[in-house]
Amino acid sequence: MNRSNSHDRCCGPASGGGLGRRGFLQMGLAGFSTLSLPGILRLQSQLSASDTQPHEKTAVIMVWKPGGCSHIDTYDPKPEAGSEYRGPFKPIATKVPGLQFTELLPRQAAIADKFTVLRSMRQTAPGHPAGSMQMLSGDPDTRDKPKPKYPDWMTVTNFLRSQQGERTNPLPRYVGINPPLEYNGPAYLGEAYSPFTVTGDPSAPQFHVPNIGLTDSNEVQRLQRRSTLRQNLDTLSRAFDRYGELGALDQFEAQAMSLLTSPATKEAFDLTKEDDKTRDRYGRNAWGQQLLLARRLVEAGVEVMTTSLSGQLCGRVGNWDDHAVNHHVFDALKFRAEAYDQAVTALIEDIYERGLDKRVLVVVTGEFGRTPKIEYSPSTGAGNASAPAGTIQPGRDHWPRAFSNIWAGGGIRTGQVIGATDKRGEDPIERACSAGDFLSTIYHHLGIDASTTFIKDFNGRPTPVVDHGKPIPELIG
């Protein structure tokens, strides 16, 4: 890699993979013809006939840190920077020679050879909505808006893969456990491609997933009776169904029935089936069990998995948005460090130990980093990681210009560090990677060639799934 070219873009080699996705391309360009449901069904059969891709579907787990995590205090320490920048956390050595994290992440430091750190992530939107939209849907707009204009990579993947053919696994393709939903979504793809959402704290004893494997056998029985009754009553001629819609409906109903009644789906969501040692290893708290559930579901066949690390474990305001008005940034990072470090470490180790490391890509990120320069403002209220109202405390604001994220599994070479920021952690000085590069990398793992995949928006205009960007070469397996 040419290190002298300081603002080199992440511009990978033309990848050979993904040409099997031509079918999507044809669909995106169908242009002149209306893509009616029979059209889609036909495309499906063409795809299944011609696509010779491996049968094991690749999957992605995205761990989302809503609000934006301070990069300087975690993966990109700047011990040489002035005191108004560097913060109190000391750098520590990691398993990878020459690579340092801060002391907040001892467990990850010990397994740093099992993942790769990208330190030169960069986007251009300063607000939570626009920043999230950049990272999750590739929208270049820097202004905040109430709703996303483009679908996020999760719904895009769900959409594209559902065009490929009927799903045989009873589990939904896309599941979110307390997922990011506020600033992303399916946009013009429609609600049907949204995640099957699980909310709550999976470590709580009363944790229960609605709509999955009904626990009450009476309820299961009743649903089956109802379903039989419906079959007996609904004798309306099916002959009128030329559009295949009733057929599609039947398929979804069958899928819903199996989701509701099959013991296998129930089991996939049942963390008590994990042994105690494993549960302990992830941490007996919401985040640990969220990540364990994510791993469990992906293992059972979920292909798109997102989960947010938010809520009480974050501190008073429930997310990573550590302005001084919200949190004492350093207290907050300390407050959440253990649970975070433990859960992420366990997930990464587990992925490798269970042989999921080729099929499953894990990425941990937020929408941006935080200002390298520390700011001081009065707190707006007392609570976890925040002093009483009016107390001046340190904070860090939004910083999209440079931040870090980590990648594991997906067959990538691990133990690397990609890119670097300047001495204050303000801007990348090597290998700046855009949101488009970030998304293209994820898509690449999912077998979607982002540079040639177009989906029609509401106006029928073929719209690229990523506006500009290339898979980050070091991160493609």
Partner 1 sequence: MDRSNPSHPFCYIVLAVLVCFSIWPMRASGNETLDNKPAANANTPRVVSFANDVVPILTKAGCNAGTCHAKAGNGQNGFALSLLGFEPKEDYTHIALEGRGRRVFAASPDHSLLLMKATNRVPHRGGTKLAPDSESYRLIADWISQGLKYDGETAPKLVSLEVQPQRGVLPRNSQQQLKTIATYSDQQTRDVSEFALYESNDTSMATVDAHGLVKTLDIPGKVSIMVRFQGQVVVFDAAVPQGSPVDQLPPSKNFIDDAVFANLKELGIPPSAICDDSTFIRRVSLDIAGRLPTQEEVALFMQDTSPTRREQVVDRLLMTSEYADFFANKWTAMLKNRRDDASDIISNFAFYSWVRDNLLSNKPYDEMVRELLAATGTVIANPPVAWYKRVKDPKQQLEDVAQLFLGVRMQCAQCHHHPFERWSQDDYYSMAAFFSQVGRKPTATRGEDMIFHKRGLAGYANAKTGIVQRPTPLGSPTVAISPDEDPRLRLADWMSSPENPFFARSLVNRYWKHFFKRGLIEPEDDIRDSNPPSNPQLLAALEKHFIDSDFNLKELVRVITTSQTYQLSAIPNEYNANDMQNYSHYYPRRLQAEVLLDSVDDLLGLRTEFPNLPSGTRAIALPDNSYNNASPFLRVFGRPENESVCECERIQSSSLAQSLHLMNSGDVKGKLGNGANRVNQWLQSGKAPNEIIVELYHIAFAREPNEQELATALAYVNEPKLDAEGKPIDPPRILRENFQDVVWALVNSKEFLFNH
Binding to partner 1, residues 301-340 (CB under 8 A): none
Among 20, 126, 140, 462, binds partner 1 (CB under 8 A): 462
Which one of residues 85, 196, 335, 399 is an interface residue with partner 1 (CB under 8 A)? 196
Q: Which of 419, 421, 375 is nearest to 396 (CA)?
A: 375
Identify the burial level of 424 via C-beta atoms within 10 angstroms of its C-beta, where 0-12 means exposed, 13-18 middle and 19 or more buried.
middle
* Candidate residues 14, 55, 83, 97; the one interacting with partner 1 per rule CB under 8 A: 14
Pair of tokens at residue 128 = 């939570």
Closest distance between partner 1 and the C-beta of residue 25, in Å?
Answer: 6
Q: What is the distance between the alpha carbons of residues 63 and 442, in angstroms, rounded to a whole number?
A: 13
| Helix, strand or coil, per DSSP, at residue 158 | helix
CA distance 329 to 69: 10
Among 45, 48, 199, 211, binds partner 1 (CB under 8 A): 211
Among candidate residues 99, 71, 123, the one with its CA nearest the CA of residue 466:
123
Contact between 85 and partner 1 by CB under 8 A: the answer reads no
Residue whose CB is less far from partner 1, 11 or 429:
11
Q: Which CB atom, from 200 or from 383, has the smaller least distance to partner 1?
A: 200
Q: Concatenate the DSSP letters of all residues of 310-332 into one string.
A: -GGGG-TTSSS---TTT--HHHH
Q: Give the closest residue to 269 by CA, choosing from 218, 197, 339.
A: 197
Interface with partner 1, residue 42, by CB under 8 A? yes
Stretch that binds partner 1, among 26-34, 82-90, 338-346, 352-360 (CB under 8 A): 26-34
Residues between 217 and 256 with contacts to partner 1, criterion CB under 8 A? 218, 222-223, 225-226, 229-230, 232-243, 245-246, 248-249, 252-253, 255-256
DSSP state of 464: E
| Tokens read off for 363 | 């990425």
Residue 352 in contact with partner 1, rule: CB under 8 A: no
Instruction: Look at strands 398-399 and 304-308 and give their pairing.
Output: unpaired
Closest separation in Å from C-beta 433 to partner 1: 15
- The answer to the question of residue 206 lying near partner 1 (CB under 8 A) is no
Among the listed residues 193, 183, 127, 181, the one whose alpha carbon sits nearest the alpha carbon of residue 156: 193
28 binds partner 1 (CB under 8 A): yes
| Helix or strand (DSSP H, E) at 232 | helix 217-233
Considering the complex, what minimum distance in angstroms separates the CB of residue 431 from partner 1?
13
The residues that bridge with 406 in the sheet, in sequence order, are 117, 364
Q: How far is the CB of 336 from partner 1 (least distance, A)?
A: 30
Shortest Å distance, C-beta 220 to partner 1: 11
CA 373/CA 189 separation, integer angstroms: 40
Site membership for partner 1, residue 194 (CB under 8 A): yes
Nearer residue to partner 1 within complex by CB, 6 or 255:
255
Is 192 among the residues that bind partner 1 (CB under 8 A)?
A: yes
Question: Among residues 252 and 376, whose Cβ is nearest to partner 1?
Answer: 252
Coil, strand or helix at 223: helix
- Give the range of 29-37, 47-55, 101-109, 112-120 binding partner 1 by CB under 8 A: 29-37
Restricting to residues 389-418, name those near partner 1 by CB under 8 A.
none
- Compare residues 68 and 436 and give the one whose CB is closer to partner 1: 436
DSSP conformation class of 29: T
Nearest to residue 455, comparing CAs of 153, 6, 107? 153
Kindly indicate which of the ranges 215-223, 297-305, 378-386, 390-398 contains the residues binding partner 1, using the contact rule CB under 8 A. 215-223
Contact 128, 135 (CB under 8 A): no
* Residues, the chain: 477
* Using rule CB under 8 A, residue 191 touches partner 1: yes
Tell whether residue 146 is a contact of partner 1 (CB under 8 A): yes
Binding status of residue 181 toward partner 1 by CB under 8 A = no
Going by C-alpha positions, the residue among 117, 141, 121 that lies closest to residue 131 is 141
238/284 with CB nearer partner 1 = 238
Count of positions on this chain that bind partner 1 (CB under 8 A): 72
Our finding on whether 459 is near partner 1 (CB under 8 A) is: yes
Looking at the Cβ atoms of 253 and 280, the one nearer to partner 1 is 253
Q: How far apart, in Å, are the Cα atoms of 395 and each of 89, 121, 276, 329, 373?
A: 14, 21, 38, 5, 9
Residue 468 CB, nearest distance to partner 1 (Å)? 7
Token couple for 159:
């959409």
Output the six-digit token pair for 57. 């579907």
Instruction: Give the range of 8-16, 321-329, 369-377, 426-434 binding partner 1 by CB under 8 A.
Output: 8-16
Task: For 408, list phi and psi in degrees, rounded to 5.
Answer: -145, 165
Amino acid making up residue 289? Q
Question: Between 240 and 277, whose beta carbon lies closer to partner 1?
Answer: 240
In the complex with partner 1, which residue's Cβ is closer, 241 or 299? 241
Binding segment for partner 1 (CB under 8 A), chosen from 56-64, 290-298, 365-373, 449-457, is 449-457
